[in-house]
Amino acid sequence: MASVNKVILLGNLGANPELRSTQSGQAVCELRIATNDVWTDKSGQKQERTEWHRVVVWGRSAENVAKYMTKGRSMYVEGRLQTREWNDKDGNKRYTTEIVADRVQFIGGARDGGSGGGRFDGPPPPNDADAPSGDSSFSDDEIPF
C-alpha cells in the first residue's frame, strides 16, 4: 500500500532563521513559520487563529535561507513531517514534530527592494546522524508572539 508524507505551507517567518552546523559540518537552519486561518463563526463574528510550524532546512538551502530571509517575510515551503524524540536534562522523554523542507521559496520583493522571489531546493541530510539534537529545537516559550 502506498503512502504520502507531504506538507505545503505558505506563511510568514515569526523570527529570523537560526543557522547552525552539525558536528560533521552540515548546515541546518531552523525556522518558525506562522499560518493564519480566518473564518466567520455562527454569530457572524470574524475569527482568526495562528498556527506555528517548526521547519528544518538542510545544506546549501539552509545557508541561503539564513542569508536572505528575515522575520516577517512570506515563504513557501514543501517538505515532509518528521517526529524526533530525545531525553531532556532530567531524563524525561521529549518529542517534537517538524517539517523537513526539501523546497523553500521566498515570496514577494527581495531584501534590497527589488522584485521577484528566490527558490532554495536541497536534499535532506544524508542520514539521521546529522540531524540536530533535541536541545537545538525551539521551545514553546520561544514563540515570538
- Look at the pTM and tell me if it is higher than 0.75: no
In the chain, how many domains are there? 1
In a domain, 32, yes or no: yes
Are 20 and 92 contacting, i.e. CB atoms less than 8 angstroms apart? no
Region 54-63: mean pLDDT is 95
Q: Which domain holds residue 16?
A: 7-136
Q: Provide the grid cell at 98.
A: 517538524
Tens of pLDDT, residue by residue over 114-145, are 444 565 555 444 444 444 444 444 444 443 43
In a domain, 141, yes or no: no
Specify the 3-state DSSP secondary structure of 142.
Answer: helix
In a domain, 145, yes or no: no
Cα-to-chain-centroid distance, residue 39: 25
DSSP state of 90: T
**Spatial separation of the C-alpha atoms in residues 58 and 48, rounded to whole Å:** 32
Are 15 and 144 contacting, i.e. CB atoms less than 8 angstroms apart? yes
Those residues whose C-beta lies under 8 Å from the C-beta of residue 82, and which sit 6 or more positions away, are: 97, 98, 99, 100
Give the residue ranges of DSSP H helices in 1-145.
59-68
CATH number at residue 51: 2.40.50.140
Q: Provide the grid cell at 66.
A: 539564513
pLDDT at 52 over 80: yes
In a domain, 67, yes or no: yes
DSSP state of 63: H
